[in-house]
Amino acid sequence: MFEIKNLSAGYSKNLLIKNLSFFLPDATFLAIIGHNGSGKSTLLKAITNQIPFKGEILLNNQILKNNKYIATLNQQNDLKFSITVRELVVMGKFSNKKFFESYSEKDFFSVEEVLNALNIQHLADKNFTILSGGEKQLVWLAQMMIQNCDCFLLDEPTQSLDVYNKKRIFNLMFEWVNIYKKNVICITHDLLNLYSMNGYLINISKENPTLEILNEKTIDENRFYLENNPLKDLNLVM
């Protein structure tokens, strides 16, 4: 179970999120939508303790003090050095390692399992830098999956991908919730693919955002809101 209580967060004196509260039951999908600059990424950074915030963030009724229970997929930049897909994916195990501890045979077995689950085992020995955009994103997803955390956070995972790969990634998120019983929280502008998902959405652009059930009606209403309401100045002094 994932819960946020009276969360306020921002930068310097600019408060992008003010007194946000919501509760997610176990194994739930949540889409976070809103205009650029409305505070979507700020929310994820607060959840992962990358920025200071006020309020409480709880996982399974315990205050979330570290990130070992959460795996995050940020908006990625291309790597500038050569590395194989297998080597990159196994680095997802890094946070569980002691200082100077090397990756084990069990770790690399987990890599093979995850690559097979994503149907990209044929990429294992390829240089990551020469892959297509869709292939690279699937590799980043594999690195996130290998951490086997209770909660997955994704920041615009389908950005700049083609229609096929966008649908593929939404199908994966559906499986994580319904088969692997994960909580999946996803920042997205891709409202069209939300029609195939069950769960909740929250429109962070609204002045008092609340959790809404994810269905055709709420998606249509929020699409209309985003298209017809330019981003207002929501910044307040903290």
Domain assignment of residue 46, yes or no:
no
Query: How would you label 70-105 residue by residue, b for 16+ Cβ within 10 Å and e otherwise?
Result: bbbbbeeeeeeeeeebbebbbebbeeeeeeeeeeee
Count CB atoms within 10 A of the CB of residue 29.
24
Does 153 map to a domain? Answer: no
> Would you call 230 helix, strand, or coil by DSSP?
coil
| Dihedral over Cα of 136, 112, 105, 152: its sign | positive
Q: How is 167-226 classified by DSSP, letter by letter?
A: HHHHHHHHHHHHTS--EEEEE-S--GGGGG--SEEEETTSSS---EE-SHHHHHHHHHHH
Return the CA Rg of the chain: 18
Is residue 91 in some structural domain? yes
Distances (CA, A) of 77 to 84, 133, 140, 161, 179: 16, 11, 11, 14, 30
User: If you search the block for the tokens 């390692």, which residue do you land on?
Assistant: 97
Instruction: Kindly state whether residue 130 falls inside one of the protein's structural domains.
Output: yes
Strands (E), 67-182: 70-73, 151-155
Both tokens assigned to 20: 């946000």
Which pTM was predicted? 0.88
Work out how many domains the chain is built from and give that number: 1
In a domain, 17, yes or no: no
Each residue's pLDDT expressed in tens, for the chain with a length of 238 residues: 889 999 999 876 778 899 999 999 889 999 999 999 899 989 999 998 888 899 999 988 888 876 678 999 988 667 888 999 999 999 988 876 666 678 889 999 999 999 998 999 999 999 999 999 889 999 999 999 999 888 999 999 998 888 998 999 999 999 999 999 999 999 999 999 999 999 999 999 998 899 999 999 999 999 999 999 887 644 433 2
For residue 99, the model assigns a pLDDT of: 66
On whether residue 119 sits in a domain, the answer given is yes
Has residue 159 been placed in a domain?
no
- Residue 96: per-residue pLDDT: 67
Domain that holds residue 129: 70-148
Helix (H) and strand (E) counts in the chain: 6, 10
Is residue 128, in this structure, part of any structural domain at all? yes
Cα–Cα distance for residue pair 73/155, rounded to 1 Å = 6
